Chains A and B, each alone.
Chain A
Amino acid sequence: MPLLDEHGRAVADAWVRVADDAPLPEGPAILTAARLRAEDLSGRNAPLGIALDPATAPEAVADLLPRLSLVTIALPKAKDGRAFTQARALREHAGFRGEIRATGHVLPDQWRMLRRCGVTTVEVPEGADLAQWRRSFDVVDIAFQPAQDSGSALGLRRQRLRVA
Chain B
Amino acid sequence: MNALVEPLAPPAPAYPPHARTYRYDEVDREFLQERIAEFSGQIERRLRGELTEDEFKPLRLMNGLYLQLHAYMYRIAIPYGILNATQLRQLAMIARRWDRGFGHFTTRQNIQFNWTKLEDVPAIMRALAAVDMHGIQTSGNCIRNTTTDEYAGAAPDEAADPRVYAEIIRQWSTLHPEFTWLPRKFKIAITGAPHDRVALQAHDVGVVVRKNAAGETGFEVWAGGGLGRTPVLATKLRDWVPEEDFLAYLEAVLRVYNALGNRDNIYKARIKILVRDLGPDFLARVEAEFARMPRQRYRLDPEIVAQIAAHFAPPPFPRLADDPPAYRDALARDAAFAAWARQSVRPHRQPGHASVTISLKPIGGIPGDCSAEQMEAVAALAERHAFGEIRVTHVQNLVLPHVRQDELFAVWEGLRAVGLATPNIGLVSDIIACPGMDYCALATARSIPVAQMISERFADLDRQLDIGECFINISGCINACGHHHIGHIGILGVDKRGAESYQITLGGSATNDAAIGELVGPGFPYDQVTDAVETILRTYVARRAAGERFVDTYRRIGPAPFKEALYAAAG
A and B touch in the complex (CB under 8 A): yes
Instruction: Tell me whether A80 is interfacial, beta carbon within 8 Å.
Output: yes
Select the stretch in A13-21, A35-43, A149-157 that faces chain B.
Answer: A149-157
Stretch at the interface among A26-34, A44-52, A65-73, A131-139: A131-139
| Contact of B177 (CB < 8 Å), options: A54, A57, A113 | A113
Q: Could you say which residues of chain A place their CB within 8 Å of the CB of B172?
A: 144-145, 157
Chain B residues lying within 8 Å of A142, measured Cβ to Cβ, are: 27, 30-31, 34
With A109-B38, A139-B34, A146-B297 already in contact, the answer to whether A158 and B177 are too (CB < 8 A) is: no
Q: Is B35 an interface residue (CB 8 A)?
A: yes
A107 to B172, CA, bound (A): 23
Which chain B residues border A80 with CB–CB below 8 Å? 181, 263
CB-CB under 8 A from A146, the residues of chain B are 297-298
Q: A81-B180, A113-B175, A156-B304 are in contact. Are A136 and B259 (CB under 8 A)?
A: no
A2 → chain B closest CB, angstroms: 16
Which residues of A have CB within 8 Å of B263? 54, 80, 82
Pair A85/B180 contact, Cβ less than 8 Å: no
Q: Does B217 sit at the interface, judged by CB under 8 A?
A: no
Contact of A85 among B28, B34, B255, B304 (CB under 8 A): B255
Asked if B259 and A82 make an inter-chain contact with CB atoms under 8 angstroms apart, the answer reads yes
Is B293 at the interface (CB under 8 A from chain A)?
yes
Q: Interface code B162-182, partner A: CB below 8 Å = 1, 0 otherwise? A: 000000100110111111111
- In the bound complex, residues from chain A placing their C-beta under 8 Å from that of B28 are 158
Closest A residue, CB atoms, query B176: A145
B175 touches A78 (CB 8 A): no
Q: How far is the CA of A109 from the CA of B59 in the complex (A)?
A: 8
Does A126 reach chain B (CB closer than 8 Å)? Answer: no
Q: Please judge, given known A-B contacts A145-B172, A154-B27, A158-B171, whether A140 and B258 are in contact too, CB under 8 Å.
A: no
Establish whether residues B38 and A157, one from each chain, have CB atoms under 8 Å apart when the complex forms.
no
- Residue pair A157, B168 in contact (C-beta under 8 Å): yes
Question: Are B178 and A157 within 8 A (Cβ)?
Answer: no
Of A57, A81, A129, A156, the residue contacting B50 (CB under 8 A) is A129
Task: Report the Cα distance A157→B172, complex, angstroms.
Answer: 8
| A54 closest partner in B (C-beta) | B263
Bound state CA distance, A117 and B342, in angstroms? Answer: 53
Asked if B181 contacts A84 (CB within 8 A), the reply is: yes
**Across-interface contacts of B59 in A (CB, < 8 A):** 107, 109
- Say yes or no: is A6 at the interface (Cβ < 8 Å to chain B): no
1/0 per position for B225-241, CB-CB distance to A under 8 A?
00000000000000000
CA distance A110 to B41 in the complex (A): 14
Q: Known interface pairs A155-B27, A157-B304. Does A85 touch B176 (Cβ–Cβ under 8 Å)?
A: no
Interface assignment of B318: CB less than 8 Å from any CB of chain A: no
With A93-B292, A157-B168 given, is the CB distance from A139 to B27 under 8 Å? no
B34 and A84 form a contact (CB under 8 A): no
Known: A136-B38, A154-B27, A156-B308. A79 touches B177 (CB 8 A): no
Q: How far is the CA of A57 from the CA of B50 in the complex (A)?
A: 33
Complex Cα distance A109/B55, Å?
10
A24 close to B (CB within 8 Å): no
**For the complex, is A88 an interface residue (Cβ under 8 Å from B)?**
yes
Q: Tell me whether B37 and A139 are in contact (CB under 8 A).
A: yes
B2 at interface (Cβ–Cβ under 8 A)? Answer: no
Q: How far is the CA of A147 from the CA of B179 in the complex (A)?
A: 12
B132 to chain A, nearest CB (A): 15
Partner of A79 from the list B30, B45, B141, B168 (CB cut-off 8 Å) is B141
Closest to A139 in B: B38
Q: Are B55 and A107 closer than 8 Å at their CB atoms?
A: yes
Question: Does A130 interact with chain B (Cβ within 8 Å)?
Answer: no
Residues of B close to A3: CB separation below 8 A: none
B-contact bits for A89-130, CB 8 A (1 contact / 0 none): 100110000000000000101101110110000000000010
Query: Could you tell me if B171 and A143 are in contact, using CB atoms closer than 8 angstroms?
Result: no
**Nearest CB in chain B to that of A157: its residue:** B171
B45 near A141: Cβ-Cβ < 8 Å: no
In the complex, A149 Cα to B194 Cα: how many Å?
40
- Which residue of B141, B263, B307 has the most chain A CB atoms within 10 A of its CB atom? B263
Q: Which chain B positions have C-beta within 8 A of A93?
A: 292-293
CA distance A135 to B172 in the complex (A): 24
B25 with A155: CB separation less than 8 A: yes
- Is the CB of B294 closer than 8 A to any CB of chain A? yes
Q: How far is the CA of A99 from the CA of B68 in the complex (A)?
A: 43
Chain A residue at minimal CB-CB distance from B296: A146
Question: What is the 8 Å Cβ interface bit string for chain B, positions 295-334, against chain A (1 contact, 0 not)?
Answer: 0011000001001100000000000000000000000000
Contacts of B216-263 to chain A: CB distance below 8 A: 247, 255, 258-259, 263
* 19 other A-B residue contacts (CB within 8 Å) besides A79-B141, A139-B37, A147-B178: A81-B178, A81-B179, A85-B259, A88-B178, A88-B255, A93-B293, A109-B38, A112-B177, A139-B41, A142-B30, A143-B175, A144-B171, A145-B171, A145-B176, A145-B177, A154-B27, A156-B27, A157-B304, A158-B28
